[in-house]
Amino acid sequence: MRKFLLGILLLTLAVVAFSSSRVTITMTAGAVGKELEVLYAQLDVFMRQNPNIKVSVMPMPNSSTERHDLYVTYLASGEKEPTVLMLDVIWPAEFAPYLEDLTADKDYFELNKFLPGTVKAATVNGRIVAIPWFTDAGLLYYRKDLLEKYGFKNPPKTWDELVKMAKTITAKEKNMVGFVWQGARYEGLVCDFMEYLVSFGGDVLDDQGNVIINSPAAVKALQFMVDLIYTHKVSPQAVTTYMEEEARRAFQNGQAVFMRNWPYAWSLLNDPKESKVAGKVGVAPLPAGPAGKSAATLGGWMLGINKNATPEEKEAAKKLIKFLTSYEQQLYKAINAGQNPTMMDVYKDPALKKAAPFMVELYGMFINAVPRPRTAKYSEISDVIQKYVHAALTRQTTPQKAIEDMAKELNKILGK
């Protein structure tokens, strides 16, 4: 009897010890291209290595704007979930008050090995609030086979050249449009707009944070976007409803000569099971505007921890982030989901060069991508830009008036 009781006691202790060390954390995740599938595979490995940690995924809408609005609801309510948040590069300043300070953990995460620009984006008032996961920059995808067929040796170096090539090719090729991009009213539109704006010689704010959007360059840039649809007719009107995935699908089905998109599209475009254009696609920097320069918007995502999580959950979250941002996992993600590493050495890995040569070849462009305004009021700024650019693209206002109104509202938001 005594032995039996002792047995029960030991068993109870073991159960208590096991269950108290087992922790469940939640993580938000996107599903653009292959990223969710790749994440599930990574989490399987992590949970096998860490049997006491269970990670449950909260899939999020693909639109960065919609995700932002959900986060505002979660974080403002003081909930301890989600534990780990996938954060767009433009959000740290706004969400910093809700995120765990990771400054003391910078050696644990080996941040000295990361691209300095990505670490800077995760730093708010000297505090590190997230760990860079992958970085993004706008790219021009083009149909190598069609450019060759029509005698164009190189991808377009200027926007005007792009228009000419697109017109020549679509005049002959049936059921094709020239150029697809992200023209829906959401964050992606701001990214696309910034690329025209900067390549035409304009900008939103100067280094002191003054609004400088009201310039002839900005009006011309927006006019050019409008002209792509209605004057040159190289982009279908439907681009005003396109986000990344709509553009990718059109291009992947062989319906477009050129596409502006992020690196993730590469692995899908070249997957013969998914794509009609596998092996026929080239990648180049976006064309230059009249200012003589080409501009790619800096994008990317990081991982932060909810400040309201319990100490055990925070520890587990750190382990998970350390795993997901490790060399091996960044390489795996880059090869399989086509998302650019944030750790510098991964770019030297021969396996990356083989799977996504452009990531290595265009390294200089990735690290020089143009950031969107860095301010805690970014969401309000973005909302105004989206509203007026979209109004011009759908011809509810003229580019001139759109830029003037945008400048007025931006000044109001920034208290100028």
- Contact residues toward ligand GLC (CB under 6 A) are 64, 88-89, 136, 187-188, 191, 244, 262, 299-301
- Provide, rounded to whole angstroms, the least separation between the CB of residue 365 and ligand GLC: 15
| C-beta closer to ligand GLC: residue 100 or 136 | 136
Beta strands 23-29 and 53-59, pairing class? parallel
Helix (H, G, I), strand (E, B) or coil at 28: strand
What is the per-residue DSSP string for 287-330? Answer: PB-TTS----BEEEEEEEEBTTS-HHHHHHHHHHHHHHTSHHHH
- Provide, rounded to whole angstroms, the least separation between the CB of residue 336 and ligand GLC: 17
- Provide, rounded to whole angstroms, the least separation between the CB of residue 385 and ligand GLC: 12
Backbone φ/ψ region at 256: left (φ over 0), alpha (ψ -120 to 50), beta:
beta
| C-beta closer to ligand GLC: residue 190 or 218 | 190
| C-beta closer to ligand GLC: residue 53 or 191 | 191
Instruction: Give the C-alpha separation, 281 to 263, whole Å.
Output: 13
| C-beta closer to ligand GLC: residue 193 or 301 | 301
- Provide, rounded to whole angstroms, the least separation between the CB of residue 327 and ligand GLC: 21
| C-beta closer to ligand GLC: residue 275 or 386 | 386
| C-beta closer to ligand GLC: residue 81 or 244 | 244
| C-beta closer to ligand GLC: residue 53 or 190 | 190
With contact defined as beta carbons under 8 Å apart, do 351 and 334 qualify?
no
Name the nearest CA neighbour of 335 among 349, 353, 350, 355.
355
From residue 335, give the alpha-carbon distance in Å to each of 253, 322, 341, 361: 22, 19, 10, 15
| C-beta closer to ligand GLC: residue 191 or 393 | 191
- Provide, rounded to whole angstroms, the least separation between the CB of residue 243 and ligand GLC: 6
- Provide, rounded to whole angstroms, the least separation between the CB of residue 64 and ligand GLC: 4
Name the nearest CA neighbour of 322 among 312, 314, 40, 64.
314
- Provide, rounded to whole angstroms, the least separation between the CB of residue 362 and ligand GLC: 16
Measured at CB, which residue is nearest to ligand GLC?
299
Name the nearest CA neighbour of 164 among 238, 259, 232.
232
| C-beta closer to ligand GLC: residue 78 or 116 | 116
Tokens 């590069």 belong to which residue?
89
Within 8 A by CB and 6+ apart from 323, the residues are 42, 46, 49, 329
| C-beta closer to ligand GLC: residue 266 or 301 | 301
Q: Which residues pair with 179 in a beta bridge?
A: 258
- Provide, rounded to whole angstroms, the least separation between the CB of residue 192 and ligand GLC: 9
- Provide, rounded to whole angstroms, the least separation between the CB of residue 342 and ligand GLC: 12
- Provide, rounded to whole angstroms, the least separation between the CB of residue 280 and ligand GLC: 24
- Provide, rounded to whole angstroms, the least separation between the CB of residue 132 and ligand GLC: 11
Within 8 A by CB and 6+ apart from 316, the residues are 23, 25, 50, 52, 53, 83
Q: Which residues pair with 86 in a beta bridge?
A: 303
| C-beta closer to ligand GLC: residue 300 or 304 | 300
Instruction: Give the C-alpha separation, 121 to 301, whole Å.
Output: 10
Amino acid type, 370: V
Query: What torsion do the CA atoms of 406, 62, 86, 19 make, to the nearest 10 degrees?
Result: 150
Tokens 């767009």 belong to which residue?
88
Instruction: Give the C-alpha separation, 10 to 108, whole Å.
Output: 36
